[in-house]
Amino acid sequence: MSKKLSVLFLGFVMLLSVLAPKASFADTSIYDFVVTIAGKEYVVTPDEDSMEFNVDDFISEVGLQETDKVEKFTVFTPDGVESVTFEFLTLNPFFPDATIQVADGKAEYVVSEVLGDLDKQSDGVSIQLLRQLMYPVNYQAWVTATADYGNGDFDVLDVLFTSNDSLEVPASNAVELDGITLITNNGPVALEKVASNQFYLDLAGKDGDVQVTAVEFYSDNASTLSTFSNDSALYRDETDVKFVDGVATMNVEKLKLSELAEIIGEGTDYLTTFQEMRYMVASLGQDTFNAYVAAENGSQSPFQVVVGIEGWTYENGKWYYIDFEGELVTGWLEDGGDWYYLDPNANGAMKTGWVKWNGEWYYLNLSSGVMETGFERIKGKTYYFHEDGVMAMGLTKVGSYWYYFDEDKSNEGALVTGWEKVNGNWYFFNKSTGAAETGWEKIGNKWFYFNADGVMQSGWEFIKGKWYFFNYNGEMQTGWFKQGTKWYYLDAVDGDMKTGWLYNGYKWYYLDKTDGFMKTGWVKDGTKWYFLDNGGVMKSGWIKDGGKWYFLNKGGDMKTGWLKYNYKWYYLDNGGVMKTGWVKVGTKWYYMYNSGVMAANTTIGGYRLGSDGAWIQ
């Protein structure tokens, strides 16, 4: 049996897929899968519900050699597992299935013990040979370990053996395969030749009951067909399929097996039907198969067959998708990274345009049916669809920008531009892009400020080191502005709050250096004092405050000491107060009239005053 299967590589992979177990995946966190190579153990790292063993990665990472032998596969099991059944699927012709009893928490598939006479040196299988075994199935092979708890419960652990090798069929080949045809009870089915020695078999939507009785290969210069190259350790001359008059025929009629009958039913005349072939590809997760054709002179060339088991079909102006069981798919379908919706109410016809599903709106491209994502212009309106295809509604952040999509039923989902009040906040959405404005924005002839989320600001805002004030409409204020009982001045052009001295309307004002409000009364700036009236205007000349007279210079600063004003002398103390009566300045006494004017060349109270106003003692 193993001899026949190794010859007819298409036959054996079809068969093995039908026999593959169908079960739920194990929790890889409670299992360890270990491969022993050249006496060293290597743990296969879990990835979700499966594990992968890449031959080439192991060689490069740990320094293995092509000649190093794979000696053992070990599964470390949780408590309660009684046995583990190892099934090698496409590698089965060389690695027989085996059920191993668990001992000390592990089940060990010892290659030399299981292979017996097949392992001549009783030391395992070389990496080079393992790689060659994976060649017919494009260097990917699944191994299934089924853990049996003995009570009807079991776990299935999948391990994928891979190689970085891949078959690249040359553009031209020394040995050319001209065609491949399946001989069926419904007539011949020719595979499509897509390039030199590359073929495609499209089984999507084909009648699954069609029975394949033989496979014919056509070539003008090939003499044999084999699974492995003639320089492979697995090559056997006696297993070649011979070409006669340019045709090599692989009969499958006699490959009926008792094991197969248990699965596909008694009375089945042939190993392979279209449906079994589709099951094979689906079960293996492998749609590409490789082999060789050779000429009489020993030259050889690879060839490749890709099998399509599901896909699109166009009928009566509608597109449909047929799965590997030959059934019309309905509902959502992912194909080639794109999503489609196949209408359950129309026998799976592909929908285009608007679709409402589970209360959410989606839009499917009118030409291709692909579910749209991102921004889309539809009948003069712009919409946005999230990565899952759901139409955006309301305030939505896309990248670093906010947008608003109408929630009103009459305009549902359409991009809104201009002013919009959302959740009590005002936004302005750019009339070209629809993105919420942020930062400064001039709308009409007014300036507005929007925070990083696009919300219009009102009241005081500290922006880049300066204060601004926005009224309840969000408009930036300029000029004089009263809040409560205090006045502020905002730059007439830029709107920033002024502090310190301000010259406005030919008058000077003083604005608090911290809070910006207009000061009145006495203000000290540096070492000088100034007086601002009730309107905030800086005064100069004589002023009376609190029943006392002061004199302010032209610059507004308060005068102290001697003051000559209109040819008369006055004396202002250190607090700036105009003095009256007798005043001692330095060591001299002076007399000031009630007007503050200094008396001179006269006698006051019997005291004689000189021309300089000083008392002559």
pLDDT in tens, 329-375: 999 999 989 999 999 999 999 999 999 999 999 999 999 999 999 99
pTM for this predicted structure = 0.60
Dihedral sign, Cα of residue 590, residue 596, residue 601, residue 605: negative
* pLDDT tier, 461 (very low <50, low <70, confident <90, very high otherwise): very high
Residue 610 near residue 591, CB atoms below 8 Å: no
Residues 448-470 as b/e (b if ≥16 CB within 10 A, e otherwise) read bbbeeebbbbbeeeeeeeebbbb
pLDDT at 7: 27
pLDDT in tens, 485-500: 999 999 999 999 999 9
Alpha-carbon distance of 123 to 71, in angstroms, equals: 6
Higher pLDDT, residue 366 or 117: 366
Alpha-carbon distance of 147 to 82, in angstroms, equals: 7
Alpha-carbon distance of 216 to 242, in angstroms, equals: 11
Q: 594: helix, coil or strand?
A: coil
pLDDT at 8 over 50: no
Q: Describe the chain by its helix, strand, coil percentages, rounded to 5.
A: 10, 45, 40
Determine if residue 337 is left, alpha or beta; phi over 0 gives left, psi from -120 to 50 gives alpha, anything else beta: left
pLDDT at 235: 67
Comparing C-alpha atoms, which of 389, 365, 368, 388 is closest to residue 377?
365
Residue with tokens 């089940």: 107
pLDDT at 221 over 90: yes
pLDDT at 216: 94
The residues with which 338 forms a beta bridge, in sequence order, are: 335
Helix (H) or strand (E) holding 4: helix 2-7
Alpha-carbon distance of 223 to 245, in angstroms, equals: 9
Q: Which residues contact 352 (CB under 8 A, 6 or more apart)?
A: 364, 365, 366, 367, 369
Dihedral sign, Cα of residue 398, residue 400, residue 405, residue 407: positive
Q: What is the mean pLDDT of the chain?
A: 85
Alpha-carbon distance of 235 to 228, in angstroms, equals: 5
Q: Dmax of the chain from CA atoms?
A: 159
Residue with tokens 């191994």: 143
Higher pLDDT, residue 137 or 490: 490
pLDDT at 149 over 50: yes
* pLDDT tier, 596 (very low <50, low <70, confident <90, very high otherwise): very high
Residue with tokens 């093995």: 16
Alpha-carbon distance of 20 to 277, in angstroms, equals: 13
Which domains does the chain show, CATH number per domain?
2-87 (no CATH), 136-223 (no CATH), 241-309 (no CATH), 313-469 (2.10.270.10), 479-609 (2.10.270.10)
pLDDT at 136: 63
Comparing C-alpha atoms, which of 47, 50, 88, 48 is closest to residue 70?
88
* pLDDT tier, 138 (very low <50, low <70, confident <90, very high otherwise): low
Alpha-carbon distance of 309 to 442, in angstroms, equals: 61
Q: DSSP readout, 211-279? A: EEEEEEEE-SS--EEESS-TTSTT--GGGPEEPBTTEEEEE-TT---HHHHHHH-TT---SEEHHHHHH
Q: What is the 3-state secondary structure (H, E, C) of 80-102?
A: CCCEEEEECHHHCCCCCCEEEEC
pLDDT at 590 over 50: yes
Dihedral sign, Cα of residue 509, residue 515, residue 519, residue 523: negative
Higher pLDDT, residue 564 or 232: 564
**Mean of the pLDDT values across residues 106-124?**
72
Alpha-carbon distance of 215 to 225, in angstroms, equals: 12
Alpha-carbon distance of 483 to 72, in angstroms, equals: 86
What percent of the chain has a predicted confidence (pLDDT) above 70? 83
Residue with tokens 């190093």: 68
